[in-house]
Amino acid sequence: MTQEQHKIILAAQDLVRLNLGGEPTGHDFYHVQRVVGLAQTLAKPYPHIDGYILTLACWLHDIDDRKIVYHGAHVGVDEFMLLNRVDQTVAQRVKDIIDNLSYSSSLLGKKETTLEGQIAQDADRLDALGAIGIARAFAYGGNKGRLLVDPTHATPATVDHFAEKLFKLEALMNTPLGKTMAHERSAFMKHFIATFEKEVDQSKTPLPSE
């Protein structure tokens, strides 16, 4: 990476700290930092990819997401690119990756067409899985005022999000290593959900009378 590119990555990191530092729905600075780290792990088998584009896309991937609770003065991705004089081709490639990254984009039929995009997408999905994924789901649901579980299914509860989305991610992974890691993390989540449901069932049984 050139010195200029390194400076831009540091600026992106500062922006995430400023905008998402204390974000309460599981999209905080450390979520983004984990995505950057996971992307580096997933990129190891592909030394020819553009590490600068990948890292910049990962740092900026949640900056313009409307479901997120921002704080501080909000600088968007476009403004960031202008302020930091990011090369237009690079800016466009990064914006394309971010546009196609989310689960809702994939439901609209959008796909990551570059290896950099596929790796960034896998990294973000992995952070929605496993023990961290469980913690993030309940943080998100709590912040949106949802119940942990609603046995009557009258309201959307966080525990329903696992079947609705999180267990579908494994099949959508792009890279072989991403798939392996997603499989391991999903297995842990399945164990958690099975235990969760067992405990809900146990609590339905009336206590034995004394």
Residues at the site binding ligand ADP, with contacts judged by CB under 6 A: 26-27, 62, 65, 102-103, 124, 128, 133, 136-137, 140-141, 158, 161
Minimum separation from the CB atom of position 61 to Ni ion (A): 6
Q: Can residue 62 be called a binding residue for Ni ion (CB under 5 A)?
A: yes
Distance (Å, whole) CA 132 – CA 91: 30
Binding partner of 86, given ligand ADP, Ni ion, none, CB within 5-8 angstroms per partner class:
none
Judged by beta carbon, residue 61 or residue 93, the one nearer ligand ADP is 61
CB of 11 to ligand ADP, least distance (A): 22
For residue 111, the 8-state DSSP code is -
Residue 171 carries which side chain, given as an amino acid letter?
A
Q: Which does 162 bind (CB under 5 to 8 A by kind): ligand ADP, Ni ion, none?
A: none
| Backbone conformation region of residue 75, classed left if phi is above 0, alpha if psi is from -120 to 50, else beta | beta
Based on the shown chain and the rule CB under 5 A, indicate whether residue 122 belongs to the binding site for Ni ion: no
How near is the Cβ of 161 to ligand ADP at its closest, in Å? 4
Q: Which is nearer to ligand ADP, 91 or 124 (CB)?
A: 124
With CB cut-offs between 5 and 8 Å by kind, which of Ni ion, ligand ADP, none does residue 65 bind?
Answer: ligand ADP
Contact 120, 54 (CB under 8 A): yes
Among 124, 162, 166, 185, binds Ni ion (CB under 5 A): 124
Rounded to an integer, what distance in angstroms lies between the CA atom of residue 147 and that of residue 46? 42
Nearest to 111 by CA among 95, 121, 100: 100
* Ramachandran assignment for 17, one of left (phi > 0), alpha (psi -120 to 50 degrees), beta (any other): alpha
Q: Give the nearest distance from C-beta 124 to ligand ADP in angstroms.
A: 5
Tokens of 135: 């913690």
Those residues with Cβ within 8 angstroms of residue 132's Cβ, 6 or more apart along the chain or in another chain: 34
Question: What is the binding site for Ni ion (CB under 5 A)?
Answer: 62, 124
